[in-house]
Structure 1
Amino acid sequence: MTSRASSPAPTKRQPFRFFDLPSELRLRIYEYALWTPKPVDLVSDNFRTILPRLALFLVSRRMYSEAYPVFYAQPIRLFPDARSRFYKTKKPLLQRLPTKYREAITTLELQLGPGWSRIPLNQNTRMELGLMECKSLRTLKIFIELDPTNDMIFEGFRGDNATSDTYKWHCVQLLIGIMDQVPSLEVVEFDAYPSVAKNGPLVSALIRKVKEGGKKLVFGPLRGWDKDDSEPGLIGLEADMANMVIGMKAPQTVAVTA
């Protein structure tokens, strides 16, 4: 038996030399540690999903200088989500950020559809929003949850003095304001829920403005518009109802053998 006194001393562990790694590998590690599944937004649970990740900024000055551009390279939501308690806040996330962080943003997401009957006052492209400082912005992702322009179901809910085209032109003005203030913008990506048609008034007007602005037009993976599918799909109970055969035949008697 080896006594404790005669046992070899434990080897002192050396700190991992993180900055000796190649820069490409360090960037991949930063992405894994800092990126979130959803776009960065003003939501109440940021203290759980975002705040712990930002502790990486406090490790050292060098790590901070390398990490913060990676964090702000992930999609940033331009206006708060309709389900967030910050939906009608006077200052969206972009307006709250310092100039240094705005300059690092590469992708913005614009969510359209929610609030169509009463558009929040914070949904505008005024100078205070800070779009002109987004000098690294390359991609604008536009996600359309619904198109209220061409469906009779939305009649009666549009608000005072609003027509079927009011929300469409509001969205077009948002897009124009972004493209005018961000000359570095190169790509506009469209995606939507299945109920939104590619050839509908809202989407058609936005696509036309993108082409007029000379930006590259691409389509996201959810809606599948890159496959030339312009018809609205089935959502919710519609998919189940489509598989049901509802006829006018009288009920048939079924014999049950005991």
Structure 2
Amino acid sequence: MGPSQKRGYNDLPAMANKSAGQRQTAANTNRRPVRSLRIHPPPTQRQIAAKDDGTQTSLDVKDGEDVLVSSIAALTLDVPLVPLRPKRRVPSKPFPLLMLPPEVRIRIYEYFFADADSNRVLDLAPSNYRDYHRKLGLMRVNRQIHEEATHYFYSSRTFRIFPTFPGRYFKTKKPLLSRLKKNQRQCITSLELRLGPGFNAPPKGWIVNDALGLADCSNVRKLSVFVECDPSDGVFKGFRRAEGFYEGFSRSLLSSVLEAMPPIGAIEFDAWTSVKMNGAMMGGLIDIAKASGYPIRWGPERGWTDSTDDGDDILRYTQAALDESEYKRAIQTMYSLDSSLV
């Protein structure tokens, strides 16, 4: 059976054994090539004259392109075809920030570093990266902006000495103050010592040593001591580690902080509503502050004064904050809690 003869029924298995790639290759070789469609615009009078002279200028090419665009645009119904000509980018002139007066630059830093909460105290927290990482990049512009922005940022905020955020930050051995550089600690003007968290088992990292860097805080004008709870109160009976344990720990910690720091301006005391001014906790801390010789001030949370006498301070402040029905319910709950713990 010659190659020109037709294939019979017995030749079908041989055709089926061919792979798909071989059949596709055979189909491609038998396919006729398709030429691309080209649009030739009619020549203009200038092009005809240039062709007769044997010359062609750039204007002729541009006219030919315009005619081609107009011919294609005539095929569209609603959207006109406009030739793409990118605009020339004009470089913007940099703003002369350093030519402004210093007081104006400080106001710009104040607006740039503004926080949503004006009373926020900086501490080790997971939100620090989100809130400050990009803003602190301003200090890398040049040396002058680095010095001005660093001084403003660290001098306009209160830094917590020991962390209180729950979890790994609370138990860390490197508080935020020890992670700062020496020149950054020298700019700090306000520190806070917060007492109360971990009253039954204070973290091992709450210790004053050279690594904490308190000796570098030479410009501190105010040391805030905020007390969250007083374990000597009867409500903590059965929950505290030992009688007078945390009160002694707090007095020793405050005394160590004052000894490690250079001279400061004043010590400010504040507390939550449940803390009494004449309790064992506050009384011991105030005695340490008086022995240091620094002026004593009172924070805005409680509104204490030098003449405050709060024999039953928690009831008085709670009564001012609640209405009569809620106040009675709070009194009953407090007495029932005391009787159950006794």
- Shorter-normalised TM-score: what interval? 0.7 to 0.9
The offset of 1:89, in angstroms, is 0.3
- Counterpart residue number, 2:326: 241
Corresponding position: 1:48 with 2:130: yes
Secondary structure of the residue that 2:134 maps to in structure 1?
helix
Q: Which residue identity is paired with 1:28?
A: R
Q: If the length of structure 2 is used for normalisation, what is the TM-score?
A: 0.62
- 1:78–1:109 contact (8 Å) kept in structure 2: yes
Say which structure, 1 or 2, has more relative contact order (CA 8 Å, 6+ apart): 1
Q: Per-residue displacement from partner, 1:83-140 (whole Å, max 9, x unpaired)?
A: 3540000111111122221222111111111110111111121222111111122211
Corresponding position: 1:80 with 2:174: no
1:1-258 alignment runs, 5 A limit: 14-36=93-115, 37=117, 38-73=120-155, 74-83=157-166, 85-149=168-232, 151-159=233-241, 162-163=242-243, 165-226=244-305, 228=308, 230=310, 231-232=313-314, 233-234=317-318, 241-242=326-327
Secondary structure of the residue that 2:224 maps to in structure 1?
strand
Distance 1:15 1:158 in 2: 62
- 1:43–1:85 contact (8 Å) kept in structure 2: no
Q: What is the alpha-carbon root mean square deviation over aligned residues?
A: 2.7
Distance 1:85 1:213 in 2: 33
Q: Which residue identity is paired with 2:176?
A: L
Distance 2:270 2:107 in 1: 27
Secondary structure of the residue that 1:103 maps to in structure 2?
helix
Q: Per-residue displacement from partner, 1:195-254 (whole Å, max 9, x unpaired)?
A: 11111111111112111111111111111113736312329x97663156999xxxxxxx
Q: Structure 2: state its 5+ residue gaps.
A: 1-87, 333-342
- 1:35–1:71 contact (8 Å) kept in structure 2: no
Distance 1:244 1:169 in 2: 34
Distance 1:246 1:190 in 2: 27
Q: Which residue identity is paired with 1:100?
A: N
Q: Figure out how many residues of one structure are paired with residues of the other and give that number.
A: 234
Q: If the length of structure 1 is used for normalisation, what is the TM-score?
A: 0.81
Larger radius of gyration: 2
Distance 1:80 1:146 in 2: 16
Q: Structure 1: state its 5+ residue gaps.
A: 1-8, 248-258
Runs of at least 4 residues of structure 1 off by over 4 A? 9-13, 237-240, 243-247
